[in-house]
């Protein structure tokens, strides 16, 4: 039996899973939509990974990252739960030890990580507003009646991208509707959107940061060729997009799971697991905390949200 390690990155839009071996080779991976239900998405993900995994491997570590990392960490009894910045940096440095700048645009987050001599020197993340991220693009795609996957191809066709205000999703949307009604072709509008995502990113997240090559671009949005094109054009630098760029967070957390292994063996069998959450409001004091109780096979494993620590 050979050892392997599972990394799961549960983002707001997509859920990513990667299984690596002791030499950090990817032996199985999967990418599915979260669809607002991280627990079901992870169950589905594990089923897919189970089908892809060789019978000779046993799982010796599980790590979770992404915005649902704590919840899924409890569900999978993960041996490490880490934030996505750490995971992304470690994943990228595993394959590209010389990288200087990591640009990342995900579903609701966007971040920039600056690296010097393999040491993280600074990073920035968007404020809590999700303008100019993946969820913004996918909601605009829906509005234009096309799949977000085709977005890049449409954008490449355009020669004259329209100007769209991307500072705020609400403004962008009214801009977009206006441009469409006036009669601009779809590909110009889409190219405009891609360009505005880049400008918004550089003005908000990248402000004041010195972007030094080699630069790598990752996160779900890096699959969008239009956005990559405008990053290249505006930064006037080559942008590396790895074929696994959307999986970097999951790879990073799998590497961390390997480093933190504790000898336990894990199973991917989760189909019959009963994993429930119950929300209620505590009325013991005027804070009225919203509490969330988490049950794993009807057993209370954790509860969150209390300010006083009673629960």
Partner 1 sequence: MRKIGIPRSLFYYYYGNLWQDFFDALKIDYIVSPITNKEIMEKGMKIAGSEMCLSLKNYLGHIDYLKDKCEYILVPRISNFKNDNQTCTNFWAIYDIVNNLFETKILNYNIDIKKHQTLKKGLFKIGKILNKSHFEIKKAYHYAIIKEKKRLKKNHQINQNKLKSKKTKILITGHPYNLYDELIGKEIIKYLNNNQVEIIYSDKFDPKITNKLSKKISKDLYFKYSKDNLGAIVYSQDKIDGIIFISAFPCGPDSLANELAMRKIDKPYLNIVIDDSTSFAGIETRLESFLDMLGGKLND
- Contact footprint for partner 1 (CB under 8 A): 67, 70, 82-86, 89-90, 109, 118-123, 125, 127-128, 207-208, 259, 285-288, 290, 307
Omega before residue 214 within 30° of 0, cis = yes
Rounded least distance, CB 69 to partner 1, Å: 9
Rounded least distance, CB 93 to partner 1, Å: 8
Q: Crossing angle, helix 225-235 and helix 186-204, to 10 degrees?
A: 50
Rounded least distance, CB 288 to partner 1, Å: 5
Rounded least distance, CB 128 to partner 1, Å: 5
CA-based nearest residue to 164, from 195, 141, 134 = 195
Rounded least distance, CB 159 to partner 1, Å: 36
DSSP string of 272-290, one letter each residue: T--EEEEEEE--SSTT--E
**CA quadruple 241, 242, 246, 252: dihedral sign:** negative
Of 67 and 222, the one with the shorter C-beta distance to partner 1 is 67
Going from the C-alpha of 147 to that of each of 10, 98, 138, the distances in angstroms are 21, 35, 8
Rounded least distance, CB 85 to partner 1, Å: 4
Is residue 310 classed as helix, strand or coil in its secondary structure? Answer: coil
DSSP string of 104-146, one letter each residue: EE-SS-EEEEEEETTEEEEEEE--S--TTSHHHHHHHHHHHTS
Of 6 and 90, the one with the shorter C-beta distance to partner 1 is 90
Dmax over CA atoms of the chain, in Å, equals 64
Of 272 and 286, the one with the shorter C-beta distance to partner 1 is 286
Q: Angle CA(64)–CA(38)–CA(6) in degrees, nearest 5? A: 30
Neighbours of 152 (CB within 10 A): 19
Of 161 and 206, the one with the shorter C-beta distance to partner 1 is 206
Rounded least distance, CB 146 to partner 1, Å: 30
Going from the C-alpha of 229 to that of each of 95, 96, 191, 194, the distances in angstroms are 23, 21, 10, 9
Of 6 and 80, the one with the shorter C-beta distance to partner 1 is 80
Of 111 and 179, the one with the shorter C-beta distance to partner 1 is 111
Of 180 and 292, the one with the shorter C-beta distance to partner 1 is 292
């Amino acid at each position: 039996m050979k050892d392997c390690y599972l990394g799961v990155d549960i983002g707001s839009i997509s859920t990513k899973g990667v299984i690596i071996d002791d030499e950090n080779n990817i032996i199985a991976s999967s990418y599915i939509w979260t669809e607002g239900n991280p627990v079901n998405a992870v169950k589905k993900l594990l089923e897919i990974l189970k089908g892809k995994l060789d019978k000779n491997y046993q799982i010796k570590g599980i790590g979770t990252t992404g915005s649902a990392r704590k919840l899924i960490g409890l569900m999978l009894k993960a041996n490490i739960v880490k934030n996505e910045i750490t995971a992304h940096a470690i994943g990228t440095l595993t394959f590209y030890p010389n990288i200087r700048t990591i640009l990342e645009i995900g579903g609701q987050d966007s971040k920039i990580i600056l690296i010097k001599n393999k040491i993280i020197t600074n990073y920035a993340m968007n404020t809590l507003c999700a303008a100019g991220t993946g969820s913004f693009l996918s909601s605009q795609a829906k509005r234009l009646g096309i799949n977000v996957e085709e977005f890049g191809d449409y954008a490449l066709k355009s020669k004259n991208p329209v100007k769209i205000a991307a500072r705020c999703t609400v403004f962008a949307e009214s801009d977009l509707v206006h441009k469409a009604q006036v009669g601009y072709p779809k590909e110009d509008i889409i190219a405009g959107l891609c360009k505005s995502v880049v400008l918004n990113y550089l003005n908000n997240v990248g402000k004041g940061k010195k972007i030094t090559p080699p630069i790598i671009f990752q996160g779900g949005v890096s699959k969008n060729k239009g956005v990559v094109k405008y990053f290249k054009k505006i930064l006037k630098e080559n942008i590396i997009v790895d074929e696994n760029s959307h999986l970097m967070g999951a790879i990073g957390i799998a590497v961390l799971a390997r480093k933190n292994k504790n000898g336990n063996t894990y199973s991917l069998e989760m189909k019959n697991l009963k994993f429930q959450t119950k929300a209620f409001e505590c009325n013991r004091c005027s804070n009225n905390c919203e509490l969330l109780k988490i049950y794993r096979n009807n057993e209370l494993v954790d509860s969150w949200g209390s300010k006083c620590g009673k629960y």
